[in-house]
């Protein structure tokens, strides 16, 4: 209920129509029962000074600031928090009895998102694409944490990158290189890199078919952080995932920069998971960028899908234990029903009979509650199976790179892996995985890259993902 006591926060920018900050903050205020409201204000450049004065006049508690005002707003403020001063851009204003302080939570939000994935910047070689407002915040945040930076920006505005590299170098005492963003420079810069960050707007809707890094330059093990959040799964991230890179999306940063602003205004601990869920819903995807939002469904089971060797049974066992649910293995049920091994079913009766059995056991199991269902690798090929499973289960795709799969399955496993045949196993895995990948993605509510993770960690990540769903 809005009253004369209600504290007002908001966003100034031009445009503000597509911002998800109002849903994110209002959901967080509601969740904590705080008498606050968050409103978007479209403010053109010529009205910026009067808008900021209005913050004092109306005793508005605080604002977020977005394009095109992040730099222009600075002269109208009373104080700058040191990091915002260094960066030269403000994305959050706090009003304490008429004294306006400018903060930059983009920087800390970026670090929280990176560290939340277990990646510490200290000593890492980072390639930063872009030299705009967000890139400035990220460059200082990374330099402050001891990362080694190279900044690439397109030719027309290379001066911005040179200026940014100079400021960050003198602040950190470490040399920061600035290069033109082109294929040869990017290729060379990525050779020693641990992390690449896209802080350009390339790949953002409506240009979501574009990527600032060509597919061939992304390799397994590289951390690829795309701060673009619309769409959540950008082309860069999806190609990076296919190459076996570790990916971080812009949604995490968006939520964290919002959470930090929320804490500055309210003094309360931000309900980060509530904010994440609202933002994911508003952006039309799951927090993992999965295909279908399961948030509206009341599900008590989890179905694990993925290629052979993705760890469905091993993870399922740990998950069942942690969540106190029953583990059901579809392939074991098929073996029980047929009275023979899977290899033998394939040998004697062929794949079609196997798929029929698979469909039968899926139907029998799908409606039951409180199960962890470890599915066979090919369950996703039949949409009827997936629709049945989804009636009661969140579908989790355990992704793994071809190399990880080969390491996990090939040794002595041919008896139970009839689909790989007798030829070149590595080639067979690549081909079959390439064929099945779109089916797994389409089925998934949650996607987890297991390539470089242990079983416990995967199970924990699934539980965290389910909480967000
Ligand atoms: P900005 O200040 O306008 O900077 C845009 C950057 O993108 C500049 O470096 C620009 O290069 C570069 N760029 C634009 N088009 C390009 C192209 N075709 N090829 C190569 N480079 C290109 O914007 P910003 O505020 O930094 O935002 C950049 C992106 O980050 C946006 O997509 C924004 O939505 C996203 N963002 C996300 C978060 C988050 O929380 N996840 C926070 C802030 C921003 P020039 O200098 O050459 O123009």
Tens digit of each residue's pLDDT (9 = 90 or more) over 326-349: 999 999 999 999 999 998 998 899
Q: Is 200 in the pocket of ligand 1 (CB under 6 A)?
A: yes
User: Over the stretch 385-400, which tens digit does the pLDDT of each residue have?
Assistant: 898 899 899 999 999 9
Q: Is 157 in the pocket of ligand 1 (CB under 6 A)?
A: yes
H runs (alpha helix) in 117-157: 133-144
Cα R_g (the chain), whole angstroms:
25
Closest CA to 161 of 178, 148, 149: 178
The confidence score (pLDDT) of residue 419 equals 66
Q: Is 201 in the pocket of ligand 1 (CB under 6 A)?
A: yes
Q: Indicate whether 293 pLDDT > 50.
A: no
Dist. CA 199 → ligand 1 center (Å): 5
Share of the chain above pLDDT 90, in %: 66
Whole-angstrom Cα distance, residue 233 to residue 399? 15
The confidence score (pLDDT) of residue 413 equals 55
Q: Whose CA is nearest to atom 17 of ligand 1?
A: 202
The mean pLDDT of the chain is: 90
Q: What is the pTM of this model?
A: 0.66
The confidence score (pLDDT) of residue 414 equals 43
The confidence score (pLDDT) of residue 297 equals 54
User: Over the stretch 27-83, which tens digit does the pLDDT of each residue have?
Assistant: 999 999 999 999 999 999 999 999 999 999 999 999 999 988 998 999 999 999 999
CA torsion, points 277, 228, 288, 231, in degrees to nearest 10?
80
Q: Is 154 in the pocket of ligand 1 (CB under 6 A)?
A: yes
Q: Catalytic residue numbers?
A: 70
Mean pLDDT, residues 105-118 taken together: 93
Confidence of residue 120 (pLDDT cuts 50, 70, 90): very high
Strand pairing report for 62-65 and 92-96: antiparallel
The confidence score (pLDDT) of residue 405 equals 87
Dist. CA 136 → ligand 1 center (Å): 10
Check residue 307 and report its DSSP letter. Answer: S
Q: Is 256 in the pocket of ligand 1 (CB under 6 A)?
A: no
Dist. CA 202 → ligand 1 center (Å): 7
Residue, of 128 and 466, whose pLDDT is higher:
128
The confidence score (pLDDT) of residue 439 equals 86
Residue, of 463 and 438, whose pLDDT is higher:
463
Dist. CA 134 → ligand 1 center (Å): 7
Q: Which position has the token pair 């091994």?
A: 341
Whole-angstrom Cα distance, residue 101 to residue 84? 10
């Amino acid at each position: 209920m809005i009253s004369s006591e209600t504290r007002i926060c908001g966003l100034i920018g031009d445009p503000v129509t597509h911002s998800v900050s109002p849903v994110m903050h209002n959901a967080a205020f509601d969740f904590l029962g705080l008498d606050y409201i968050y409103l978007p204000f479209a403010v053109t450049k010529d009205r910026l000074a009067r808008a900021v004065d209005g913050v004092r006049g109306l005793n508005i508690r605080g604002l977020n600031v977005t394009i095109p005002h992040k730099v222009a707003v600075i002269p109208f403020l009373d104080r700058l928090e040191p990091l915002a001063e260094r960066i030269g851009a403000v994305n959050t204003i706090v009003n304490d009895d008429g004294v306006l302080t400018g903060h930059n939570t983009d920087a800390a939000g970026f670090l929280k998102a990176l560290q939340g994935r277990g990646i510490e910047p200290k000593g890492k070689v980072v390639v930063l694409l872009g030299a705009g407002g967000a890139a400035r915040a990220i460059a200082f945040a990374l330099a402050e944490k001891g990362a080694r930076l190279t900044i690439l920006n397109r030719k027309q505005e290379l001066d911005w990158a040179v200026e940014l590299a100079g400021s960050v170098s003198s602040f950190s005492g470490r040399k920061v290189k600035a290069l033109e963003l082109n294929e040869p420079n990017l290729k060379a810069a990525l050779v020693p890199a641990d992390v690449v960050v896209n802080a350009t707007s390339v790949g953002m809707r409506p240009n979501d078919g574009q990527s600032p890094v060509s597919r061939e330059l992304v390799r397994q093990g590289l951390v690829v952080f795309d701060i673009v959040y619309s769409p959540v799964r950008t082309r860069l991230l999806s190609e990076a995932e296919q190459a076996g890179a570790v990916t971080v999306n812009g949604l995490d940063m968006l939520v964290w920069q919002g959470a930090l602003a929320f804490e500055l205004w309210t003094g309360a601990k931000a309900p980060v998971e509530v904010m994440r869920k609202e933002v994911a819903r508003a952006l039309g995807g799951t927090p993992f960028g999965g295909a279908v939002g399961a948030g509206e469904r009341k599900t008590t089971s989890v179905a694990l899908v993925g290629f052979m060797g993705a760890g469905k049974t091993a993870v399922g066992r740990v998950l069942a234990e942690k969540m106190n649910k029953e583990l059901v293995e579809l392939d074991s049920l098929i073996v029980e029903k047929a009275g023979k091994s899977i290899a033998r079913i394939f040998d004697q009766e062929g794949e079609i009979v196997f798929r029929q059995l698979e469909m039968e056991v899926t139907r029998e199991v799908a409606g039951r509650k409180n199960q962890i269902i470890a599915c066979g690798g090919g369950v996703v090929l039949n949409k009827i199976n997936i629709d049945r499973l989804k009636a009661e289960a969140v579908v989790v795709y355990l992704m793994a790179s071809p190399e990880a799969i080969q390491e996990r399955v090939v040794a002595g496993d041919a008896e139970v892996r009839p689909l790989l045949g007798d030829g070149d196993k590595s080639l067979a895995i690549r081909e079959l995985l390439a064929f099945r990948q779109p089916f797994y993605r389409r089925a998934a509510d949650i996607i987890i890259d297991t390539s470089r993770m242990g079983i416990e960690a995967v199970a924990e990540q699934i539980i965290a993902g389910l909480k967000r769903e």
